[in-house]
Structure 1
Amino acid sequence: MTYKKNRMSRIADKTLCLPTGMRSMVLSRIFGRVVPFLATSGLRFDEVSPQKMVVSLRNQRKIQNHIKGVHAAAMALLAETATGFVVGMNMPDNKLMLLKSMHVDYLKRAQGGMCAEATLSAEQIRSMHEQDKGDVTVSVRVTDESGEEPVRCKMIWAWVPQKRQ
């Protein structure tokens, strides 16, 4: 089933004609304007669709911890961003989305840069369109350059009507 496009998905659609690398750069800049904090961290939107969002982060000095790895807060930001933007691609414009819960377990030391892949099912997307209020647990997998999962995250996003009645 297809739903009416929202503001964020219309923005993403306008970049479909661009080559993949350029599309990623343009979307990263645009989404960095939507959420200014993202631009400071250097997050990169590698894959953008209503069902799947892939966001990456290079291990660079501005986001490092004391042992020159990706800082714990940057890892959480990566997971939160991937889950938030995949929800955002589907949230009707008349609803307000909010992070309800963020749980992050740090399992091992990360190696190099990181990538978060967040996905939604058709049923989850349908509930965002059909229910005035609700929440969704978004599946996210965060890996480092070795392909391992140094963190395990659980993100719950809620939505309410844009204007209270």
Structure 2
Amino acid sequence: MSFDAGALLLQTVPFARTLGITFDHAADGRAACRLPDRADLHNHVAGPHAGALFTLAESASGAAMLSALGDQLSRAVPLATTATVHYRKLAMGEVVAEGRMLVSRDEVIAELDAGRRPEFDVAVDISNADGVVVCSLTVTWTLRPNRT
């Protein structure tokens, strides 16, 4: 892609900016972003709130998807349709989400070219500063073709 998928996501999703999410990279169907350790984002046990973790993971999934399919925005709108969340361990401190598309760009575009609305998964792991996975998500995305 010739654009910055992380920057595009932060531009179009103000809530991600509100949380202070930043992107380390987004390219080739993969993305990594981080959530700062801020008291106003904490839950009752002083770790990042589940809603903040979800937003971080959804942001990583969206940037991963955009990094592979952003050039299709003129013909389809990306929408998250479902998400499955597994909170594995108490998250503390700054956390990093890493997302990766589980299908190829070519598979998704073939569905669009055939006149179908593709649905595909993006897997995300959130890790703490020690590299321990504290949360895993699978976000299902669709590309809704634009009406002509």
TM-score range normalised by the length of the shorter chain: 0.7 to 0.9
1:129 shift after superposition: 1.7
Conserved in 1, the CA contact under 8 Å of 2:30 and 2:63? Answer: no
SS at 1:111 equivalent? coil
In structure 2, the CA distance between the partners of 1:101 and 1:31, relative to structure 1 (3 Å rule), is: closer
Question: Where in structure 2 are there 5+ consecutive unaligned residues?
Answer: none
CA deviation profile, 1:13-63 (whole Å, cap 9, x unmatched): 9xxxxxxxxxxxxx55x5422211111000010012123100111111221
Question: Where in structure 1 are there 5+ consecutive unaligned residues?
Answer: 1-8, 14-26
Whose RCO is larger (CA < 8 A, sep 6+)? Answer: 2
Task: Name the structure 1 match of 2:22.
Answer: 44
Conserved in 1, the CA contact under 8 Å of 2:9 and 2:59? Answer: no
SS at 1:84 equivalent? helix
What is the CA–CA distance in structure 1 between the aligned matches of 2:77 and 2:92, rounded to whole Å? 36
1:142 shift after superposition: 1.2
Q: Which amino acid aligns with 1:124?
A: S
What is the CA–CA distance in structure 2 between the aligned matches of 1:12 and 1:107, rounded to whole Å? 31
What is the CA–CA distance in structure 2 between the aligned matches of 1:114 and 1:83, rounded to whole Å? 15
Task: Name the structure 1 match of 2:4.
Answer: 12
Task: Name the structure 2 match of 1:113.
Answer: 94
Task: Name the structure 2 match of 1:66.
Answer: 44
Percent identical pairs in the alignment equals: 23
TM-score normalised by structure 1 residue count: 0.77
What stretches of structure 1 move > 4 A for 4+ residues in a row? Answer: none
The structure in which a higher percent of residues are strand is: 2
What is the CA–CA distance in structure 2 between the aligned matches of 1:44 and 1:62, rounded to whole Å? 17
Task: Name the structure 2 match of 1:126.
Answer: 106
1:128 shift after superposition: 2.1
- Measured on the aligned residues, the alpha-carbon RMSD in Å equals 1.9
**How many residues matched?**
141
What is the CA–CA distance in structure 2 between the aligned matches of 1:162 and 1:127, rounded to whole Å? 19
Task: Name the structure 1 match of 2:123.
Answer: 139
What is the CA–CA distance in structure 1 between the aligned matches of 2:132 and 2:37, rounded to whole Å? 15
What is the CA–CA distance in structure 1 between the aligned matches of 2:143 and 2:44, rounded to whole Å? 37
TM-score normalised by structure 2 residue count: 0.85
Q: Does 1:157 align with 2:138?
A: no
